[in-house]
């Protein structure tokens, strides 16, 4: 498995004008709702006409820097919602990075509109989603990381919840539930407690995952669809983790989303073949046993109302 050197990525970005470390998102005790550009929509509620109250963040606490990366390509229909769901958390120590792959829709105009509140953004051709994520994290200087795709969004107040969880539990990885949103209807997707033995069973909802910078690893850029699943296998194993039993984000279900697109089935298969090859994590002779035990585990969890 050949992983990129993020220091080399950073050096290239610095050559092109990126200044490391990046500026954090401007913070004001009055909040950003009345400062950010007015969205061109009649939508109300979060994150259009609501914000997290800045007063939620105790001034006596030194809030750790949180770095959020958004990879994007031609998702202008969703992008503004994603951006606002991050900025309107009003988190007092936030670094926000957007790596756009040279979109041909209105993404560039949206990014330009919100640029005063984005630590770094670029819109130019890259090598795909995995490469964009690595480029973003090469500039990261936060204590805790997450990425959210440009067609998903965070729920209200969750940066406060996640940061408090890291501080209280001294954990390396925090994860929670998500809503899948289709045709304006929300479906709650829960996740069971996470144990190393069952990491090979895909269960972690990517938009609801946060981790310590100390355990960060690059995304394997040969992955097209299963990039998050493969990353968790390396990043989570052996580290302390904490589950938040509530939804942290919303994943939009639409025809172009890789997770729900019939046209990407072959790509998913190619990723899994590569992942479990000698080049990747190697073959798993106990697959049937893991799957069988996981089924029993999930039945017990449902019976005991753990999920």
17: left (phi over 0), alpha (psi -120 to 50) or beta: left
Residue 181 has pLDDT above 90, yes or no: yes
Residue 259 has pLDDT above 90, yes or no: no
Average pLDDT over residues 92-101: 98
Residue 95 has pLDDT above 70, yes or no: yes
DSSP assignment of 224-248 equals SS-HHHHHHHHHTTTS-EEEEEEEE
Average pLDDT over residues 22-42: 95
Of the chain, the end-to-end C-alpha distance in Å amounts to: 34
Residue 305 has pLDDT above 90, yes or no: no
> Hey, what are 228's tokens?
């998050």
Neighbours of 252 (CB within 10 A): 22
Q: Which letter does DSSP use for residue 211 in this model?
A: E
Burial zone of 5 (CB within 10 Å; 0-12 exposed, 13-18 middle, 19+ buried) = exposed
DSSP assignment of 268-288 equals HHHHHHHHTSTTTT---TTHH
Tell me the helix, strand and coil percentages in the chain, rounded to 5. Answer: 35, 20, 45
Instruction: Identify the H or E element spanning 137.
Output: helix 129-138
In a domain, 193, yes or no: yes
Strands 94-100 and 66-72: parallel
In a domain, 245, yes or no: yes
pLDDT-derived band at 184, boundaries 50, 70, 90: confident
In a domain, 1, yes or no: no
> Hey, what are 306's tokens?
């753990």
Strands (E), the chain: 66-72, 94-100, 120-123, 144-147, 152-154, 173-182, 185-189, 209-212, 241-252
pLDDT in tens, 129-164: 999 999 999 999 999 999 999 999 999 999 999 999
In a domain, 259, yes or no: yes
> Hey, what are 255's tokens?
């025809």
CATH at 175: 3.90.550.10
In a domain, 47, yes or no: yes
Crossing angle between the packed helical segments 227-235 and 129-138, to the nearest 10 degrees: 40
pLDDT of residue 9: 97
Average pLDDT over residues 248-258: 80
pLDDT of residue 241: 97
Residue 14 has pLDDT above 80, yes or no: yes
pTM score, whole prediction = 0.94
Beta-carbon contacts of residue 167 (< 8 Å; ≥ 6 apart): 61, 64
In a domain, 186, yes or no: yes
Contact (Cβ atoms closer than 8 angstroms) between residue 88 and residue 117: no
Average pLDDT over residues 175-204: 94
Average pLDDT over residues 221-228: 93
Tell me what the pLDDT averaged over the chain comes to.
94
pLDDT of residue 40: 82
Lowest mean pLDDT among 79-88, 205-214, 267-276: 267-276
Crossing angle between the packed helical segments 265-275 and 227-235, to the nearest 10 degrees: 30
Q: Kindly list the distances between the CA atom of residue 25 and the CA atoms of 19, 28, 168, 207, in Å, as whole numbers in the listed order.
A: 14, 10, 24, 20
> Hey, what are 144's tokens?
């805790």
Give me the domain span that covers residue 233.
Answer: 6-303
Dist CA 165 CA 159 (whole Å) = 10
> Hey, what are 116's tokens?
């005063």
- Number of structural domains (the chain) is 1
Residue 170 has pLDDT above 70, yes or no: yes
In a domain, 200, yes or no: yes
Alpha helices by DSSP H, 30-92 = 76-87
The angle formed by the CA atoms of residues 204, 206 and 208, to the nearest 5 degrees, is 90
Average pLDDT over residues 188-205: 94
pLDDT-derived band at 254, boundaries 50, 70, 90: low
> Hey, what are 279's tokens?
């080049």
pLDDT of residue 307: 81
In a domain, 63, yes or no: yes
Average pLDDT over residues 8-29: 96
């Amino acid at each position: 498995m050949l992983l990129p050197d993020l220091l080399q990525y950073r050096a290239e970005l610095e050559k092109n004008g990126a200044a490391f470390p990046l500026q954090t998102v401007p913070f004001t005790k009055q909040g950003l709702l009345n400062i950010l550009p007015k969205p061109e929509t009649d939508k109300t509620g979060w994150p259009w006409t609501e914000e997290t109250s800045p007063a939620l963040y105790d001034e006596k606490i030194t809030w750790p820097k949180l770095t959020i990366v958004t990879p994007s390509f031609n998702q202008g229909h969703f992008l503004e919602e994603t951006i606002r769901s991050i900025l309107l958390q009003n988190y007092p120590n936030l670094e926000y990075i957007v790596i756009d792959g040279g979109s041909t829709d209105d993404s560039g105009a949206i990014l330009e509109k919100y640029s005063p509140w984005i630590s770094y953004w670029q819109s130019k051709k890259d090598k795909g989603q995995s490469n964009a994520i690595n480029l973003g994290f090469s500039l990261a200087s936060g204590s805790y990381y997450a990425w959210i795709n440009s067609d998903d969004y965070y729920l209200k107040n969750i940066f406060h919840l996640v940061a408090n969880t890291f501080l209280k539990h001294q954990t390396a990885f925090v994860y929670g539930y998500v809503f899948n949103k289709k045709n304006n209807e929300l479906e709650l997707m829960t996740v069971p407690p996470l144990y190393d033995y069952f990491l090979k069973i895909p269960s972690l909802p990517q938009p609801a995952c946060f981790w310590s910078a100390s355990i960060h690893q690059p995304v394997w850029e040969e992955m097209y669809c299963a990039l998050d699943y493969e990353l968790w296998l390396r990043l989570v194993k052996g580290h302390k983790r904490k589950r938040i039993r509530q939804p942290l984000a919303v994943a939009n279900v639409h025809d172009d989303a890789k997770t729900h697109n019939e046209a990407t089935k072959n790509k998913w298969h190619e990723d899994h073949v590569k992942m479990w090859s000698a080049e990747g994590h190697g073959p798993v002779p106990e697959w049937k046993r893991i799957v069988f035990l996981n089924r029993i585990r999930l039945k017990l969890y449902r019976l005991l109302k753990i999920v």
